[in-house]
């Protein structure tokens, strides 16, 4: 459909150029008018006929769907019984009655015990990581996005910490930089600190 429209536009451009400037492939302007005008008109007619047939077929489909819907006995589902709406912004909630079941109570107690155990594990891991970070070589250097902040220059095998004099300059060079979280990682990879 759009191919006919595009071809029609090409013929129309050739017709206008032949009428205004000089005929293309023809000796007289009237010959160019007939040679380009008729195909342009035919292509545009073909385009509009195809567009109209597509439109009319869609309308027939929608009409058929509407007739099928009105002829059927289907209705949307309805809720039986009383309906209590809740408005979450007002803080009014619908209470759901829960039967007093021994298994349910035992499950809730077990869940609370598991949560308490998990909280204790997290607290001990936090203490162990804070005591491990007392060593300056194990202290993590992380930027605001959680990415490593120690820059290692692969050319000179020197690492730069945030706040070092050449740190900003190294941040601009992206081609030969590697990043580390701790000084220990950088030294394990063969990098040394900058000499002050």
Per-residue confidence (pLDDT) for residue 163, from 0 to 100: 81
Residue 136 tokens read as 């300056």
Residue 115 pLDDT class (50, 70, 90 cuts): confident
Q: How far apart are CA 6 and CA 46, in angstroms?
A: 11
Predicted model pTM: 0.33
- Residues 31-36 have a mean pLDDT of 72
Q: Are strands 150-153 and 192-193 parallel, antiparallel or unpaired?
A: unpaired
Mean of pLDDT values over 32-57: 78
Ranges of H-type helices in the chain:
2-20, 29-71, 102-132, 167-172, 183-188
Can you give the pLDDT at residue 190?
92
pLDDT digits (tens, 9 = 90+) for 146-191: 788 888 888 889 888 888 888 888 877 777 788 888 888 889 999 8
| Cα(160)–Cα(171) distance, integer angstroms | 10
Mean pLDDT taken over the chain? 76
The predicted-structure confidence for 61-81, as pLDDT tens digits, reads as follows 888 888 887 888 777 677 666
The predicted pLDDT at position 15 comes to 66
Give Cα 81 distance to the centre of its chain: 43
Dihedrals φ, ψ of 12, to 5°?
-65, -40
């Amino acid at each position: 459909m759009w191919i006919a429209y595009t071809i029609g536009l090409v013929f129309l451009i050739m017709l206008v150029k032949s009428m205004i400037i000089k005929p293309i492939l023809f000796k007289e302007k009237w010959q160019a008018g007939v040679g380009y005008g008729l195909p342009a008109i035919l292509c545009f007619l073909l385009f509009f006929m195809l567009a109209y047939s597509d439109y009319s077929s869609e309308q027939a489909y929608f009409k058929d769907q509407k007739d099928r819907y009105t002829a059927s006995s289907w209705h949307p589902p309805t809720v039986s019984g009383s309906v209590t709406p809740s408005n979450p912004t007002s803080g009014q909630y619908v209470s759901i009655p829960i039967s007093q079941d021994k298994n349910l109570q035992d499950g809730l107690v077990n869940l609370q015990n598991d949560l308490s155990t998990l909280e204790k594990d997290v607290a001990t891991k936090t203490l162990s990581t804070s005591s491990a970070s007392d060593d300056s070589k194990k202290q993590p250097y992380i930027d605001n996005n959680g990415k490593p902040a120690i820059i290692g220059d692969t050319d000179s095998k020197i690492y730069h910490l945030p706040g070092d004099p050449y740190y900003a300059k190294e941040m601009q060079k992206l081609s030969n930089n590697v990043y580390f979280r701790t000084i220990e990682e950088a030294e394990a990879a063969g990098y040394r600190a900058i000499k002050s």
